[in-house]
Structures are given as structure tokens and as C-alpha cells.
Amino acid sequence: MSSSELPVPRPFGSSHQVVIGSITWGYLRARPAGKVKGTVLLLHGFPDLPYGWKNQVPLFTSLGYQVIAPYMMGYSQTSSPSEVEEWAHKKVAAGLAALLDQIVPGEQVILGGHDWGGDVAWRFAMHYPHLFKGVFSVTLPYLPPATEYVDLADKIAAGKYPTWRYRLQWRDPSFDRKFQSAATIRQFLIAVRDGRTPEGKLGGTPAGLDLDVLPRLRPSALLDGEELDRFVAEYQRHGFRGPLNWYRTAKINFEDELPIARAGGHRFTMPALYIFARGDVYLKRELTTDMGRHFDKLTRAEVNTTHWALVENEGKEVNEALRSWLATLE
């Protein structure tokens, strides 16, 4: 079954596409049973899809919010253009701003993201603060613009970001070509979602994917069965080139944000929530220590999960943190 033939996944109620310039944006939508009191825009990360938020959507709709969850640039129902510049945070933010103007013109919404979606959420709120009544990120902290560009390989060599070595593997322009068939796409997805060999060896670590063990991996409970089948079908539409482009735009993003850095940085005036996952082996606590000085009103929460906080334990800890924070916005 192709991705275009897949049914709308629960708990979403409908699937849509909007053409903005040369880009087609796909998104899933869920509405509350009663009157809509606001909108939540949810941005997914990699390797994920909009229904990575499946455990959070019922929370938002139960509180009266409609949910808009786009396929991010390069994923399935959204375009995957040839130019890597299309994945720059500032350009993606402009596209998402236009998308909101098509769906909920003039409305201030609540913005949230996980993984790369969290990074885009911070940048989207930085470039378009007037669009949001609040912003939150699960696992990925706000990392402010810098005044000097240092390549990730040099940072790792200097002892900074030691848990980001996998990004060097994934940003390689030829890496996505290893995962073009349904079988190899499945292997990649299993590896990144904590798949293990029968002997218990992980396929993916902060050092990157162990390509030799991928064919022997077994799925974890984080992504298996029919949901894994759906992910494979969705990723077959564009492959991994587009999703992996998120790892190839560091210098472009630096150049876009350099004027902000030189002006002293950005300060968020809207309420913000950051949810830290204690068991995340990729995004460690030391990345979060300096966040507070960039916000007027930052709430911090912690959950006892790995990086995949949205789905572990059915997302209950994340939902508790979100429910408490949402109450402060009303």
C-alpha cells in the first residue's frame, strides 16, 4: 500500500494538503468534540511522523483544542525539494507561518515540537513571536544563535557534544542512499527506535548506526507491528534524503541567525515549557543549564523516559507536564 492510500491514523480525524508557493504541505487534523477554544501546532522530529503525537492529541482535544500536525519538510505528504536550503530553519518557519495563515488566519496558537521539531519550534517562535501564545519542546532544549561558526566535527573533537557523533554519519550526503528499499528503510527505523539483535546489541547509539547488525535487528515496543509497517510505507514516498537534510543545514542556519546573535540574542516573551527526558542518551542535561536567561517565563519539567518520551508509557508523563502548563495559559 502506498502512503497516499493509507487511512487517516487515529486519533486524527482528517488529512489535508495545502500548496504554498512551490511546496505542498501535508498535515493531519484533530478536533475536539465541542467548541474549539484554540489551536495547537505540533511539529515532529526524525525519524518520526505527525502521529508520533498520538498520545498527546487526545489530551489537547479533551481540553478543547484542535490539533494541526504537519508532515515536516521532506516527509511523505509534504514536498521534498532538491535544494538543501529549503530545510533551513528560517525558511521552514516562513512556510509554516504561511500554513497557519491558510488554516487559522489571525489566530495565536500554541506551538510544540519534539526532537528536530523542537528545534524548529524554538526558531519558529523566535522569528514569528506574534503568532504564538505559548511554545513547548519535548527533549530538545533551546540552543541560542552563535556569533562564530564551528563545524560539528570540530566541536566533537574538542570534547563538546560527544553524544552527537551519529550526526556526522547521518549528514554525509551519501548516507541516505543506503536506505532506499522497503527492507532497508525498515532496518533504519528499527535501529533508531532501540531495536536489538537476538544477543541484545543495539543497532543505533550516539556513535551512529552499526550497519553490520541492521539485518538482524528485532523491533522494540517503541515502533513495531502495523505502526512500523505504516512508517515504512510513509518513508518510501521520499526516502531518507529529505529527512536527513535536517542534519545538513547547520551553516545555513548559523548564517541566517547571525544578525540575531550579534544583536545580543533573542528573548522569548511568551510562556514556554521545556520537558527534559532523564534517560535521553543524545540530549544530555548540560545542554539545558543556560536556557533560563533567554526566557521571560520558562517552565521546566522532567520525565523518566528515553528520547522517545512521546510514546514511552503511552506518553503519560509528558501529558502530565503539558496539562499542568496548559492550565497556566488559560
The catalytic residue positions are 115, 307
Instruction: Pick the closest to residue 197 from 218, 181, 226, 221 (CA basis).
Output: 218
Instruction: Pick the closest to residue 51 from 323, 184, 234 (CA basis).
Output: 234
- The type of residue at 152 is L
Q: Which stretch of DSSP H or E encloses residue 24?
A: strand 23-30
Neighbours of 294 (CB within 10 A): 17
Between CA 84 and CA 19, with CA 14 as vertex, the angle to 5 degrees is 35
CA 199, CA 186: separation in Å to the nearest integer?
20
Is the Cβ–Cβ distance between 86 and 73 less than 8 Å?
yes
CA 142, CA 122: separation in Å to the nearest integer?
6
Q: Which stretch of DSSP H or E encloses residue 299?
A: strand 298-303
For 23, residues 6+ apart whose C-beta sits below 8 A from its C-beta are 73, 78, 79, 81, 86, 95
Radius of gyration of the chain (CA): 19
CA 153, CA 309: separation in Å to the nearest integer?
28
User: What are the cell numbers at 47?
Assistant: 525519524
CB < 8 Å & 24+ apart, contacts of 155-162: 162/206
